[in-house]
Structure 1
Amino acid sequence: MALVPIADSITPSPPSLSAPSPPSFPPPETFDFIPNTHDLLLRLLPPNTAASPPTQSNLPPLEPKDVDAEASRIRIKIQKARAILNDLPDISRSIEQQEEEVKALEEKIRRQREVLGRIRELKVVKDAAGGR
């Protein structure tokens, strides 16, 4: 007995040997600016005052005139992080576009499950499974 194909709008994709690799993300330190900013602000406090907490980094106090030069390191780090974010795949897609893709993929999964359910119900498939 021959199997009758079920007509459906699903086009089978060729089997892949491996799943696509996820994009490589930079390490979390790339986006961590708070410690650098905290150190910069601590260096602005006058030394040996009750208001100044002990610093974990043994950096010398910073004069107000040198703040811009020190802060530029943080700004450069932020600019590099922005560039990395802009290079991530699909970063320019809106939430609406992503939601539409999710809905389309969910619909595709629903149709595939429906087809698989119909295949399971075919008498030939049941007979073949029972006669193993």
Structure 2
Amino acid sequence: MTNDPKTPLGLPATLSPDALDTITKLASILTRLRTPVTLPNASGGGSGQTPAAAPTPSNSQNTNGELSLREVPAATDHLKHKLQKARAQIKTLPDMDRTMAEQEEEMRQLEDKIRRQREQLNLLREKGLGFAGQGRDEDRMQE
């Protein structure tokens, strides 16, 4: 699988940040979760909870209505499949088999390379400014 430079973060075309974002969908499903009804229990004055009603065909098809606890697995099934697909695609990304230590060592090497390149650029800038200054001094002497 090759990375497409047009996709965000250089991810494969089939793997986008939207494919990894499940929190929004999960939050909307959880807000639809029906709270259990609290009823006084028979022993007097206390409260007991009754389980939510079993899903009926009409409200199991409803995507905007309340959900019972029994309906949550079915409602979140597509999220589970989405995460499984994303996990499989992430494993195909390059360098996923490298350890953290290997990646940190490469970062140290790259940071050292950047530091050396900056030093060279600063040295070249100083020499260039010195060279430009010498040319101006020579021009003044000739006048």
The TM-score normalised by the length of structure 1 is 0.50
Q: What is the alpha-carbon root mean square deviation over aligned residues?
A: 3.9
Give yes or no for contact 1:37–1:74 (8 Å, CA) kept in 2.
Answer: no
Percent identity over paired residues: 36
CA distance in 2, matches of 1:77, 1:120: 53
Partner of 1:57: 64
Partner of 1:127: 131
**Larger Rg, first or second structure (1 or 2):** 2
Partner of 2:27: 35
Cα deviation code 1:5-38 (max 9, x no counterpart): xxxxxxxxxxxxxxx7741361346331533662
Structure 2: unaligned runs, 5 residues or longer:
39-48, 53-62, 137-143
Deviation at 1:79, TM superposition (A): 0.7
Q: Which has the higher strand share?
A: 2
Q: Specify the SS of the correspondent of 1:90.
A: coil
Structure 1: unaligned runs, 5 residues or longer:
1-19
Relative distance call for 1:116 and 1:75 in structure 2 (3 A) is: closer
Partner of 2:78: 73
1:1-132 maps to which residues of 2 (within 5 A)?
Answer: 22-24=9-11, 26-28=16-18, 30-33=20-23, 34-35=26-27, 38=30, 42=33, 49-50=37-38, 57-59=64-66, 61=68, 64=70, 69-122=74-127, 126-128=130-132, 131=135
The answer to which structure, 1 or 2, has the higher relative contact order (CA under 8 A, 6+ apart) is 1
The TM-score normalised by the length of structure 2 is 0.48
Relative distance call for 1:37 and 1:129 in structure 2 (3 A) is: farther
Relative distance call for 1:69 and 1:127 in structure 2 (3 A) is: closer
